[in-house]
Amino acid sequence: MKYNTELSPINTLFTVIITCCFFLLPATGMAEVAATPQWQITADKIIRYETPASIIAEGNVVLKKTRIVRQRKKVATGAGWSSLLGEKAAGKRPAAGQGQTVTRTLTTIKADWIVYDVDRGSVKARGHIFVRIGPDTLTAETGRLDLNTETGTFTNATIVRQAKNLHLEGRVI
C-alpha cells in the first residue's frame, strides 16, 4: 500500500501562513495572566506551582491589587430655602441599582522578574522595580515585599511621597 506524501500547493501555502503567524506574533500578544483572590498578575511568562503555592513571573511583570467600588450619584432636591439661606442642600440618595461600578487600582507593582508566595503573601522581585500606592512611588533594583503588611526591603531604591513632599534614596531601604 502506497501513501501519497506530496502536499498540494494549497495545503503547503496554508501550513506556511500558519507557521509564519505563530512565529511572527508580537510578544505582548503572548502575555499570560494569573489571578489570586486579591492580586492580578500579568507577564510574558508565568509558572504556577501548587506545592508550595507560588507563582514565578518573568518579563514585563505587573501585579495589581484592585477593588470594585460602586459610586452613587446624589440627586439634588428642589432649590427651596437652602439656597436663600446659604446652606448646602441635602442630596437624596438614589435607589439601589443606580450609580456606576468602578474598578480602582490600590497598588501596582512592576518588575522584570517576580516570585509570589501565595500562602505567605510575600514577593521577591528584581529588575526595574516600580511600586505605586496611591500617589506615592518607589523604584529599586531588587526587593522583598510583604503584601499583608505592605512593608519590604529594597536595594538601590528611591521613594517619593507626594503627601509629605518627601524624597528618599538609599542603597538599602
Q: Is residue 42 part of a domain?
A: yes
Tell me the three state secondary structure of residue 88.
coil
Residue 34 belongs to a domain: yes
| CATH number of the structural domain spanning residue 60 | 2.60.450.10
Q: Which of 58, 66, 5 is closest to 27 using CA atoms?
A: 58
Question: DSSP 3-state assignment of 143?
Answer: strand
Report, in angstroms and rounded to the nearest whole number, the Rg of the chain calculated over CA atoms.
26
pLDDT in tens, 50-107: 988 999 999 999 999 988 877 766 555 555 666 667 666 555 555 555 667 888 888 9
- Give pTM, 2 decimals: 0.65
Structural domain of residue 49, as residue ranges? 27-68+105-172
| 149 occurs within a structural domain | yes
Q: Identify whether 87 is part of a domain.
A: no
Non-local (6+) Cβ contacts of 134 within 8 A are: 106
Asked if the bond preceding 52 is cis, omega within 30° of 0, the reply is yes
State pLDDT tens for residues 144-162. Answer: 999 989 899 999 999 999 8
Based on the structure, what is the number of domains in the chain? 1
Any domain includes 98: no
If we measure between CA atoms, which residue out of 41, 101, 38 comes closest to residue 72?
Answer: 101
